[in-house]
Structure 1
């Protein structure tokens, strides 16, 4: 075995494709990862919300608003910052709608998803910061799962490396015509031909591991310091953006630059600083929200109705006792 073969065997191979077909139906790894991440985030957020004193199924109700808003926001951010991929000579603007081919900006997803969550929280009568604290570790874990989709799409990687965990990236071709190169998610790596810079830094894997570490940090800090009023969510944002800053600097895939630096590097710095400032300022709000404040309008109304029912149920015996006392008084008077 020559040295080149030894190096190849020490690297991480890429999947030969990111899309499979069940008859005419495409099964996309990226979409499956996004769906799995959303399901886990809702499930974990629901458990944490109930543990904090909230009502069951509240997170599911909020997700009805937050998830579609987040998907739209994530796609909008991607299209706005990478507009040149979809608009201009030789481009197809309709592909800007093809969310299943990859391309979701987390900044837009969090921003517009937060708007959806705010609408849901307003309807339920519960504080948005408390809901954000409950779902924080689930969101960053969902992001980690989403990075697996990037692995199948052969995207979000860094420069050439000789490290043993380097990622092999292959030339992909049109599945219907192996003579036409197609590095998109629908391409197939016939022959597993490495690209020129292969192997490369698997920056998607670095971010995946970092996200899982941040999820653990948020859970630990939340239990240790009883974080409330959005501080657990702000800790997630600060931790995630700190990692995204250095990982983004390692990436070599095409991206929009501002002042010679990838736009997401600037966004990560700004968002990280804002999150740290929020953590400091939110301490003035005092201890974590009480369970009573998490019950919402509907649950509070049900509790009030229950109390009224108890009162009305006990009024008849009281009236009966009063009548008996009056009758007794009348007999004594007679």
Structure 2
């Protein structure tokens, strides 16, 4: 696989029929959603949550998570571009969905749904926290086909070419995809063991992904400038979330028996 990535430039378009175009980015996001829904339905049975409630919640999460991801990208990544090109807001097949916005919108959606249905917010959040990194692992490959999320120049055999650029670059999307997959497997095993307090899986996910994102930012070229001590704002946000996660673990404790 690394040899293929090293020697080939991807095409973001799968096929085109008239005015209809199918892009890898959209297809991979759709696959990620379907895979996550399938696993989520299995986990819901394990935790004795009605499937109709899971599917209802998932419907709202897809809508508001998508809106949150797009708004976050617009507001915090390239606002001036979207002000000058307002129609570009709708060109989501070109990329531009920020996971932080999806997570924030998702947490709000879960909280409101749980309150309305008189369900445990943390129980629902834990199930979603398990499957979310798997969705991220799949979705990151959309960045590959759009030639996004690449890092600094490098000479390793797994580094990738970028159209219009000389040399090879760190495949940050691949690093994050692999690490997200490891996070998914770890959280799934922890859930199956059933030894943690309700809510701790959500806390571990937030801390774990923030840790991944913090180190990946050192390689990225698409985040300009630094804010403090050479860190960009994404790293500062990741540090803040990690500190919050540690505080919650220390205050609430991991084990049910504590």
Q: Give TM-score, length-normalised by structure 1.
A: 0.70
Q: Which residue of 2 aligns with 1:269?
A: 239
Greater Cα shift, 274-283 or 25-34: 274-283
CA distance in 1, matches of 2:240, 2:14: 36
Q: Which residue of 2 aligns with 1:163?
A: 156
Return the offset for 1:19. Answer: 5.4
Q: Over aligned residue pairs, what C-alpha RMSD do you find?
A: 2.2
Return the offset for 1:84. Answer: 3.0
Q: Which residue of 2 aligns with 1:60?
A: 55
Residues 166, 200 of structure 1: 8 Å contact kept: yes
Within the alignment, does 1:96 sit opposite 2:66 as a pair? no
Return the offset for 1:98. Answer: 2.5
CA distance in 2, matches of 1:203, 1:42: 26
1:9–1:114 distance in 2 versus 1, CA, 3 Å: closer
Q: How many residues align?
A: 253
Return the offset for 1:213. Answer: 0.4
- Residue 21 of structure 1: SS of its match in structure 2? strand
Within the alignment, does 1:28 sit opposite 2:28 as a pair? no
CA distance in 1, matches of 2:72, 2:227: 15
- Residue 22 of structure 2: SS of its match in structure 1? strand
CA distance in 2, matches of 1:10, 1:110: 30
CA distance in 2, matches of 1:143, 1:66: 15
Return the offset for 1:254. Answer: 4.5
Instruction: Show the 5 A alignment for 1:21-170.
Output: 21-82=16-77, 83-87=79-83, 91-170=84-163
Return the offset for 1:112. Answer: 0.9
1:9–1:103 distance in 2 versus 1, CA, 3 Å: closer
Return the offset for 1:257. Answer: 4.3
CA distance in 2, matches of 1:60, 1:133: 16
CA distance in 1, matches of 2:143, 2:5: 21
Residues 19, 27 of structure 1: 8 Å contact kept: yes
Q: Which residue of 2 aligns with 1:219?
A: 188
Q: Which residue of 2 aligns with 1:291?
A: none
CA distance in 1, matches of 2:177, 2:202: 18
Residues 71, 113 of structure 1: 8 Å contact kept: no
Q: Which residue of 2 aligns with 1:205?
A: 174
Residues 197, 254 of structure 2: 8 Å contact kept: no
1:224–1:60 distance in 2 versus 1, CA, 3 Å: same
Q: Which residue of 2 aligns with 1:316?
A: none
Q: Which residue of 1 aligns with 2:199?
A: 230
Return the offset for 1:99. Answer: 2.3
Return the offset for 1:153. Answer: 0.1
CA distance in 2, matches of 1:149, 1:9: 16
Return the offset for 1:238. Answer: 1.1
1:17–1:280 distance in 2 versus 1, CA, 3 Å: same
